[in-house]
Amino acid sequence: MLGPIQVLIVDDEPFFINALETYFSTNENINVVATAENGVQALDILSKTIVDVVLCDVRMPLLSGVELMKILAEKKLTCRVLALTSFLDDYAMLSMLQFGAFGFLLKSADRDEIIEAVQSAAMGGTTISPEIATNLRKFLSQPPSSISDLPTRERDVLTLLHLGKSNADIAAELKLSTVSVKKSVSRLMQRFQVSSRLELVASTRL
């Protein structure tokens, strides 16, 4: 690759964006070309800016990391996406993988790990934090279950879970209370005999 790696940072936490910008400012091979607070802003930037690597939070308002990744895959954009998460059991990571993410990092990763992941993604490589890799290996080894016989509401809730939506987002989209959504998620977890939302997504097929 000729010239610095052009990076777009997408995160709704200004403090974390500033931290990443500080990390990259010490590396002449990486240039932060733009930052965005959500997926909607990111799409606008990507429509008019050349970007090699997108560092993208999984959970964001307006347009989640999963939804952004899905749109980028549909548009067949050439930028590589590295997913970021604060949660070891973030259920949306599997969906990011499905849509072609080039890596998964915990936000607690150190400077060198993040820089190496960006450089690897720019060259077409994949980097996964060890803690995330352990969980993914476990869940991906389990055969998915069909959801065709689920009640309509629970099927709709599960579909939105696969897109990385929070309970509040699901409640707003389906015009339900957050209490109803929580109950639906609990019933789904009991039905498929799993103990986390990540396991629920990993063990079901839409």
- Over the stretch 146-187, which tens digit does the pLDDT of each residue have? 677 788 899 899 999 888 888 999 999 999 999 999 999 999
| Average pLDDT, integer, range 120-144 | 77
- The domain ranges of the chain are 5-139, 145-205
The rounded distance, in Å, linking the Cα atoms of 205 and 4 is 40
Q: What is the CATH number of domain 145-205?
A: 1.10.10.10
Say what the pLDDT of residue 50 is: 92
pLDDT of 20-65, one tens digit each? 999 999 899 999 999 999 999 999 999 999 999 999 988 888 888 8
What mean pLDDT, rounded, does the chain reach?
A: 85
**Overall CATH class of domain 5-139:** alpha beta
The rounded distance, in Å, linking the Cα atoms of 4 and 160 is 37
The string of DSSP letters for the chain reads --SPEEEEEE-S-HHHHHHHHHHHHT-TTEEEEEEESSHHHHHHHHTTS--SEEEEESS-SSS-HHHHHHHHHHHT---EEEEEES-TT-TTHHHHHHTT-SEEEETT--HHHHHHHHHHHHTT--EE-HHHHHHHHHHHTSPPEE-TTS-HHHHHHHHHHHTT--HHHHHHHHT--HHHHHHHHHHHHHHTT-SSHHHHHHTEE-
Say what the pLDDT of residue 164 is: 82
Q: What is the pTM of this model?
A: 0.68
**Do 5-139 and 145-205 show the same overall fold?**
no
pLDDT band at 144 (very low <50, low <70, confident <90, very high): low
Q: Give the tokens for residue 14.
A: 């200004």
Residue type, 136: L
Say what the pLDDT of residue 41 is: 94
